[in-house]
Amino acid sequence: MTVGLVLVSHSADLAEGLREVLEELHGTGVPLAMAAGGPEGELGTSALAIAGAVESLAGHDGVVLMVDLGSAVLSAETALEQLDPSLRARVHLADAPFVEGAVAAAFAAAGGADSSAVLTAAEATRGRRKLA
């Protein structure tokens, strides 16, 4: 088994675009779930949707949540509080850039890394410069 990723975004289109990039890079080898946008298609995040996305990946070796903006962190933290403690112990919230962190996390997960290493890979992208 492998570590799954949950893409938490205020925009369903943004999350879908990132999922498309990750699947292009890794095929379908990395389990992905999304919790993005509001229930009517508006911008927003939902703790219930995040909890559901995490639960959909519960059979994997762990789950790393990638969030797009600060308020998504609040929704993710609320979702984590709702989870069964045995699942919550295997879920990590990454403090990383959404796109770069998710790409790095997916590479690590595809390579068989455990959830701690996937989290570390995502968080290692903080502060990385794109221009020399």
Please list the active-site residues.
Answer: 10
- Rounded Cα distance between 83 and 25, Å, is 30
Instruction: Report which secondary-structure segment, H or E, holds 66.
Output: strand 62-67
Say which residues have a Cβ less than 8 Å from residue 89's Cβ, sequence separation at least 6.
none
Which candidate, 28, 33, 26, places its Cα nearest to that of 66? 33
Neighbouring-strand partners of residue 105: none
